[in-house]
């Protein structure tokens, strides 16, 4: 199967080469498996694969918990994910880049890292990687597992290729029963599918006074955000939302947009004429301004922006995409406005809405909802408090995942094992 897959990968690479050449990506040597060999192990070593920024943020508490009993290696796929991993885990975990799924890349990567167990965050199950782990006796698992509607359909079509990979999982720790059913349908053995909840609830720190965060103070000062006027923060936005948000923000309120991807920064600035961009004064002195529009064209500062917000609008929920994560601002006690598209976060949105911690909107109703929340500070407080309590009630999945992962590792420390 490896030869056939490798051939298919090569054909795909040739056909898609013009697209790849337009993308800015680094660490190509490591992507082909040329990771620097890690030092000999003094404790059991667990590899955690977190694709991008979202998955990297998700495992903050898990890494701290695992590091008590094991050596942790974080493998990132995207450049932004690797940058975020360096910011969060330098000195706590070893950092590597996840390889392309060509068999030779996977073999070189595993030769260099030599994990005792591997866990893939949310899904990211690749056939050659799974096959090589199986051949080496490395237990492989899915953590915080989820299969969205569209991913479920794709994986169902790919079952002839991926079915064996699912069947070989040590376990699949999934977020809820809906995802459990989908993992079983994809080929995961029913007795190895565990409902462990979502670690995203744990990643959302409970904060009673998030505005006291020094990073939030610095962001407001350096961008010129006026603390005396209401601030709407739209996080992880998509290109078709910036004009909508610009028009829907009521007079007197400020709007800060944080696009999901760096390539969307330029279009976002064009959709908000006269906006202040973070990169115009990244770490400078305070900026005197009366601007009403701000663009967070930086990586890793969305949390600080949420801390400043009076209202949070969840991006990628008003168009053709599938929503973004509402849990972090919920943990801060922020009133959240969500559009109609949230397939990737259905369980969290449903829980927050049932608790009264989230307001639903459409493109047509968004202006009125924002205007009402800007006027009514008491309602903002009520919605935010309910959101915070909903997060608190759903926490605990990180410890359950940690126990499952540690159960895959050797019982005794492997001191001196190469």
Together in a domain, 389 and 402: no
Considering just the CA atoms, what is the radius of gyration of the chain in Å? 22
Together in a domain, 156 and 301: no
Q: Which two tokens stand for residue 11?
A: 């054909």
Contact 334, 387 (CB under 8 A): yes
List per-residue pLDDT tens for the chain, 418 residues long: 576 666 665 655 555 555 555 555 666 778 777 888 999 999 999 999 999 888 998 899 999 999 999 999 999 998 889 999 999 999 999 999 999 989 999 999 999 999 999 999 998 899 999 999 999 999 999 999 988 777 767 766 667 778 899 999 999 999 999 999 999 999 999 999 999 999 989 988 899 999 999 999 999 999 999 999 999 999 999 999 999 999 999 999 999 999 999 999 999 999 999 999 999 876 666 665 678 999 999 988 999 999 999 999 999 999 989 899 999 999 999 999 999 999 888 889 999 999 999 999 999 999 999 999 999 999 999 999 999 999 999 999 999 999 999 999 987 444 444 4
Asked if residue 332 is part of any domain, the answer here is yes
Asked if residue 414 is part of any domain, the answer here is no
Together in a domain, 381 and 256: yes
Asked if residue 13 is part of any domain, the answer here is no
How far is 207 from 193, CA to CA, in rounded Å? 33
Together in a domain, 220 and 284: yes
Asked if residue 58 is part of any domain, the answer here is yes
- Tally of domains in the chain: 2
Together in a domain, 235 and 361: yes
Together in a domain, 261 and 373: yes
Together in a domain, 220 and 199: no
**Would you state the pLDDT for residue 306?**
98
Asked if residue 14 is part of any domain, the answer here is no
Together in a domain, 360 and 266: yes
Together in a domain, 154 and 276: no
Asked if residue 366 is part of any domain, the answer here is yes
DSSP-based three-state secondary structure for 87: helix
Together in a domain, 181 and 62: yes
**Would you state the pLDDT for residue 413?**
44
Measuring CA to CA, which residue among 314, 286, 292 is closest to residue 302? 314
Contact 144, 58 (CB under 8 A): yes
Burial code (b: 16+ CB inside 10 Å, e: under 16) for 205-241 equals: eebeebeebeebeebbebbbbeeeebbbbbbbbbbeb
Cβ-proximal residues to 263 (8 Å cutoff; 6+ apart), any chain: none
How far is 308 from 227, CA to CA, in rounded Å? 8
| CATH number for 273 | 3.40.50.2000
Asked if residue 317 is part of any domain, the answer here is yes
**Would you state the pLDDT for residue 415?**
40
Q: Which domain holds residue 80?
A: 27-203+397-406
Cβ-proximal residues to 172 (8 Å cutoff; 6+ apart), any chain: 141, 142, 145, 166, 180, 183, 188, 192, 193, 194
| CATH number for 139 | 3.40.50.11720
How far is 296 from 300, CA to CA, in rounded Å? 10
Together in a domain, 286 and 137: no
What region, left, alpha or beta, does residue 197 occupy, with left being phi > 0 and alpha being psi -120 to 50 degrees? left
Together in a domain, 33 and 110: yes
Asked if residue 3 is part of any domain, the answer here is no
């Amino acid at each position: 199967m490896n030869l056939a897959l490798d051939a298919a990968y090569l054909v795909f690479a040739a056909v898609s080469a013009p697209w790849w050449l337009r993308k800015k990506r680094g660490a190509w040597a490591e992507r082909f498996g040329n990771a620097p060999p890690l030092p000999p192990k003094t404790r059991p070593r667990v590899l955690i694969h977190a694709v991008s920024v979202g998955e990297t943020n998700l495992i903050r508490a898990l890494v701290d918990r695992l590091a008590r009993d094991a050596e942790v290696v974080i493998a990132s796929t995207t450049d932004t994910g690797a940058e975020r991993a360096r910011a969060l885990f330098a000195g706590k975990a070893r950092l590597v880049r996840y390889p392309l799924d060509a068999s030779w890349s996977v073999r070189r990567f595993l030769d260099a890292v030599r994990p005792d167990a591997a866990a893939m965050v949310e899904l990211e199950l690749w056939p050659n990687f799974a096959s090589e782990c199986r051949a080496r006796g490395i237990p492989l698992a899915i953590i915080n597992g989820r299969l969205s509607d569209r991913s479920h359909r794709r994986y169902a079509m790919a079952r002839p290729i991926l079915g064996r990979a699912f069947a070989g999982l040590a376990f699949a720790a999934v977020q809820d029963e809906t995802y459990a059913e989908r993992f079983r349908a994809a080929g995961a053995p029913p007795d190895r599918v565990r409902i462990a909840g979502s670690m995203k609830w744990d990643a959302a720190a409970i904060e009673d006074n998030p505005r006291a965060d020094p990073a939030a103070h610095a962001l407001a000062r350096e961008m010129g955000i006026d603390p005396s006027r209401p601030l709407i923060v739209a996080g992880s936005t998509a290109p078709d939302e910036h004009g909508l948000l610009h028009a829907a923000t009521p007079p007197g309120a400020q709007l800060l947009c944080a696009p999901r991807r760096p390539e969307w920064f330029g279009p976002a600035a064009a959709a908000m004429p006269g906006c202040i961009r973070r990169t115009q004064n990244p770490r400078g002195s305070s900026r005197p301004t009366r601007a009403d529009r701000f663009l967070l064209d930086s990586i890793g500062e969305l949390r600080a922006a949420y801390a400043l917000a009076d209202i949070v609008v969840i991006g990628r929920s008003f168009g053709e995409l599938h929503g973004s994560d509402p849990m972090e601002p919920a943990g801060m006690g922020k009133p959240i406005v969500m559009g109609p598209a949230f397939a990737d976060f259905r369980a969290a949105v449903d829980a927050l809405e049932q608790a009264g911690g989230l307001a639903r909107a459409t493109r047509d109703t968004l202006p009125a909802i924002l205007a009402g929340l800007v006027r009514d500070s008491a309602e903002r407080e009520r919605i935010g408090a309910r959101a915070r309590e909903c997060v608190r009630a759903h926490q605990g999945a990180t410890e359950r995942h940690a126990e499952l992962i540690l159960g895959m590792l050797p019982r005794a420390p492997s001191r001196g094992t190469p």
